[in-house]
Amino acid sequence: MLKLGLTGGIGAGKSEVSRILSSYGAVLIDSDRIAREVVEPGTPGLAAVVAEFGPEILSADGSLDRPRLGGIVFNDPERLRALNAIVHPLVRDRSAELQAGAGPDAVVVHDVPLLVENGLASLYDMVMVVDAAPETQLDRLVRLRGMAEDEARARMAAQATRAERLAVADVVIDNDGPIEALEPQVRKVWADLLERRSGAAG
């Protein structure tokens, strides 16, 4: 098994890279998706979040009101730490479970937005960073995702810097250009990963 940590700043194109890797046969473990699953209605995760933040963070249907919770934690490091202390261990355990089920020959791609911020690089055999210039990220967030510019800038500022991400990268995918330039880069890395996996097995 080869474990690849995949990360990149918001708007850099990480989701597209993980989609391409999945299409090649990688086992994708998406931290964001798991973070949503562990706080779905009826889960111990949601019960713990409600115990910490109060029932006002629930929508009328009993699901987590993400915008409201986001408003509480986004500018309050103390409250964000409290939320992370609940969610991160649940995500870690579920990720480990999925990885264990992947099989000995798998290339397992862990899609982890906050890999650098949470100091997780050492958990993986390799770290792949999808890189784009800050002005490219900003343009995509505003133009493609419809974010207000000040919100986009705030989201970018809350993440690790470009330099911090590049410092932990074993492989860098340059996604400053058009989408067509992305796939050939990822295909080349995939071939390298398969070779590396075979070498490790040998």
Mean pLDDT for each 10-residue chunk of the chain (202 residues)? 95 94 96 95 96 95 93 88 94 94 93 92 96 95 92 89 96 92 95 84 60
pLDDT at 202: 57
Q: Where are the alpha helices (DSSP H) in the chain?
A: 14-24, 31-37, 44-53, 66-73, 77-100, 134-143, 149-157, 162-168, 182-201
Task: Write down the domain spans for the chain.
Answer: 1-26+106-202, 33-103
Residue identified by tokens 């899609």 is: 111
Q: Is 111 helix (H, G, I), strand (E, B) or coil?
A: strand
Residues 6+ apart with CB under 8 A from 18: 6, 28, 30, 109, 111
* CATH topology match: 1-26+106-202 vs 33-103: yes
Q: Is 117 helix (H, G, I), strand (E, B) or coil?
A: coil
CATH C-level class of 1-26+106-202 = alpha beta
CA distance 45 to 85: 11
For residues 112-145, one letter each, b for 16 or more C-beta atoms within 10 angstroms of the residue's C-beta and e for the rest, the string is bbbbbeeebbebbbbbbbbbbeeebbbebbbeee
pLDDT at 96: 93
CA distance 194 to 166: 23
Superfamily per CATH, domain 33-103: P-loop containing nucleotide triphosphate hydrolases (3.40.50.300)
Q: Is 172 helix (H, G, I), strand (E, B) or coil?
A: strand
Q: What is the pTM of this model?
A: 0.88
